[in-house]
Structure 1
């Protein structure tokens, strides 16, 4: 039930290289000593390897009990215990349109019942709440997204393919990615995603991407797919929503029962992709304009075709979403559009999604 990255995305992990690197630092016993004894001394195991293994085990022991499996009537995903009141954060595409769920914790095979608090597909996040908070269920600690660095070792925890309490490892491959979902996802375009090489498969969505300090730095959401290979899994490319955004959205849902300040810019229109005479995407046609919204105030009307926002060409709905993803409500930008065969440009003060 995970999104594919055009979905564009599915994943695969990588980490053996680290072990190989450590092993390469091993030193053999003195050759003369080997000659004297007639035996070959075993290669020494670096202390760092043992220490790293201990770190993994410590983090898994601390964090895995805070990661749950979420089951809807026909779908399966993961979630992270958010507080001691029974709130669990997950992906919007995990909950879909359903309102009630079965939740299985790492320490019990007996499912608990939970209900939807609110789903926000725009950021592909949702919060469900357990009907009864079991004893010993500990909230996860969310990390500081500003401190996430490329090369950090991370663990992905969740229920890939229904295999509950599974753990894979990798590194942070990149930060600040803007990723668009499609297919089975929420259809959201999400900025500032964390890219990871940790294996993320269907069922991992809504789980935890964790650093070696035991902090959740992101919610795994997408695995990359390669369009040239029929959208099959693209190994080693996965994406997670950063913890800072998770906290911003989840806090609002817990406090208000909905998202009251998304921080995401919008033109306040409904639109569709249009194609040229060669059936190639050529812009975004405005279908309707919200009265008093950003586009309305700038003079943009239904029937106009948007071709550029700022200096970014617009050919599809997705490219429009990507162009707006890095902007903030209240920010000014220029919108270039076609009307009755002529090109026009308007300055727009962006609204809020």
Structure 2
């Protein structure tokens, strides 16, 4: 197995399930407090009430009524200790909470005017309640003139002028015309992905896994933002870096993107992703650079296993975004959206969820630019290599296996069994990390390998053409 045969390793393992939130024990509903508030039961007043014949109207000032009221007042008796008659003091009660037991019938008044005023007061309370409701209704319905309705307001002025520099809107406006939806079909299936325009004559950069199904005589249709459509053909592809170039014919007036650089990216800087997730053409999402130089193994077999030193982002990336641009806030492309991390489904069926969870990976544009240039100029990508098998060492690092005679590894003096722990200033925790770091560099670059014993060896990297399977 060569350095391209690194054992498959996902960027993150299964995560422990989130701890369940604490269950609050259902508390029994509190019992309604009794009428006295002292734990006992209130005994309602049972004073006798005089019944009057239905045809005889009750007159509170008649001698019969006066006698009845006086008898009921005398029948009330004494209140128990701790209770108080409203309006009177009970200084000899023991300390404790004061509970006001409301008598069922008011004390008889001796004055006729008092009775009249009491009657008027009772009427005022009833009318006050009704009047209050009436006033509230009138106030809520019509006070201050006619009602205000948002539907009657005029539309605000239409947005004009230039978009704020460095905004997501400005990036979308600049980059969207250059983003392409690729509809692909072949003998083994069909699918769709994204890409972006490199040149006015139709070269489009995308992922290998987007177009490989059509590489053996399939069909590719490119759909642009303005609705233009054209037929595309594969110019060349590199499964080891998941990069491919197609050329669209029959379409003019294309707008190439502006390429940025990925060697000066910073964790936390904002980015924008554009693509066609789930066939939703021209979808724009935004986020930040979450991490850099993340070794990611994204499928493939043998020497053509896809391993990349990726830019990690939390910008939403979903199936269909593959091949689309990841841009900085100047609208410059700094990566190609290529893969997402999808944890196992919650149902435990072992399937992938297939949706965005905030962990996406993009191929750095510096690497993609070099590969695309090779493909356009020669029809083939060039793979950077050292000529040694590699596996993850039990104690960490990348352990070299068989060394190919005449390879860059042999010429540098590397031996089978050497464990590489650093490449230049990059830590190498496993085999994938070493393969990814080598592939991000160009042939003939000089790099320094730090071995587990501390020895440093300079290696001149080699290059070899990639012939896709």
TM, length-normalised to structure 1: 0.66
- Aligned residues of 2:294 and 2:312 also touching (Cα < 8 A): no
1: CA distance between counterparts of 2:281 and 2:339? 18
Q: Give the direction of change, closer, same or farther, for the CA distance of 1:134–1:314 in structure 2 (3 Å limit).
A: closer
Counterparts of 1:62-101 in structure 2, within 5 Å, are 62-70=174-182, 71-73=184-186, 74=189, 75-96=191-212, 98-99=214-215, 100-101=218-219
The equivalent residue for 1:116 is 234
1:351 aligns with 2:467: no
Shift of the alpha carbon at 1:63?
A: 1.9
The equivalent residue for 1:243 is 365
Alignment counterpart, residue 386 of structure 2, candidates 267, 272, 281: 267
The equivalent residue for 2:319 is 202
Alignment counterpart, residue 285 of structure 2, candidates 168, 187, 194: 168
1: CA distance between counterparts of 2:456 and 2:327? 44
The equivalent residue for 2:401 is 286
1:330 aligns with 2:452: no
Alignment counterpart, residue 158 of structure 1, candidates 251, 275, 281: 275
1:137 aligns with 2:273: no
Q: Give the direction of change, closer, same or farther, for the CA distance of 1:317–1:146 in structure 2 (3 Å limit).
A: closer
2: CA distance between counterparts of 1:51 and 1:108? 20
2: CA distance between counterparts of 1:298 and 1:346? 11
* C-alpha distance after superposition, 1:194-251 (max 9, x if no partner): 3222100111111012334332222111212347976655722222223333323222
Shift of the alpha carbon at 1:129?
A: 1.1
Q: Give the direction of change, closer, same or farther, for the CA distance of 1:111–1:323 in structure 2 (3 Å limit).
A: closer
SS, match of residue 84 in structure 1: coil
Q: Give the direction of change, closer, same or farther, for the CA distance of 1:323–1:165 in structure 2 (3 Å limit).
A: closer
The equivalent residue for 1:340 is none
Shift of the alpha carbon at 1:91?
A: 1.4
Q: Give the direction of change, closer, same or farther, for the CA distance of 1:179–1:133 in structure 2 (3 Å limit).
A: farther
SS, match of residue 342 in structure 2: strand
* C-alpha distance after superposition, 1:294-349 (max 9, x if no partner): 23335667xx445444599988642442564677733342556xxxxxx9x89462
Q: Give the direction of change, closer, same or farther, for the CA distance of 1:320–1:236 in structure 2 (3 Å limit).
A: same
- Aligned residues of 1:209 and 1:218 also touching (Cα < 8 A): yes
Which runs of 5 or more residues in structure 2 are unaligned? 1-7, 13-143, 151-158, 464-469
TM, length-normalised to structure 2: 0.52
User: Which structure's relative contact order is higher, taking Cα pairs within 8 Å and 6+ residues apart?
Assistant: 1
Q: Give the direction of change, closer, same or farther, for the CA distance of 1:351–1:56 in structure 2 (3 Å limit).
A: closer
1:105 aligns with 2:223: yes
Q: Give the direction of change, closer, same or farther, for the CA distance of 1:315–1:306 in structure 2 (3 Å limit).
A: farther
The more displaced of 217-226 and 194-203 is 217-226
2: CA distance between counterparts of 1:156 and 1:177? 19
The root-mean-square deviation of aligned C-alpha atoms, in Å, is 4.3
2: CA distance between counterparts of 1:295 and 1:53? 48
Q: Give the direction of change, closer, same or farther, for the CA distance of 1:7–1:79 in structure 2 (3 Å limit).
A: farther
1: CA distance between counterparts of 2:234 and 2:283? 25
Larger strand fraction of residues: 1
2: CA distance between counterparts of 1:105 and 1:327? 33
Q: Give the direction of change, closer, same or farther, for the CA distance of 1:296–1:98 in structure 2 (3 Å limit).
A: farther
1: CA distance between counterparts of 2:422 and 2:269? 34
Which runs of 5 or more residues in structure 1 are unaligned? 10-36, 337-342
Shift of the alpha carbon at 1:269?
A: 2.5
Q: Give the direction of change, closer, same or farther, for the CA distance of 1:293–1:203 in structure 2 (3 Å limit).
A: same
- Aligned residues of 2:316 and 2:356 also touching (Cα < 8 A): no
1: CA distance between counterparts of 2:441 and 2:197? 31
Alignment counterpart, residue 187 of structure 1, candidates 305, 313, 326: 305
What number of residue pairs does the alignment pair up? 297
The equivalent residue for 2:432 is 318
Q: Give the direction of change, closer, same or farther, for the CA distance of 1:196–1:112 in structure 2 (3 Å limit).
A: same
SS, match of residue 410 in structure 2: helix
The equivalent residue for 1:224 is 341
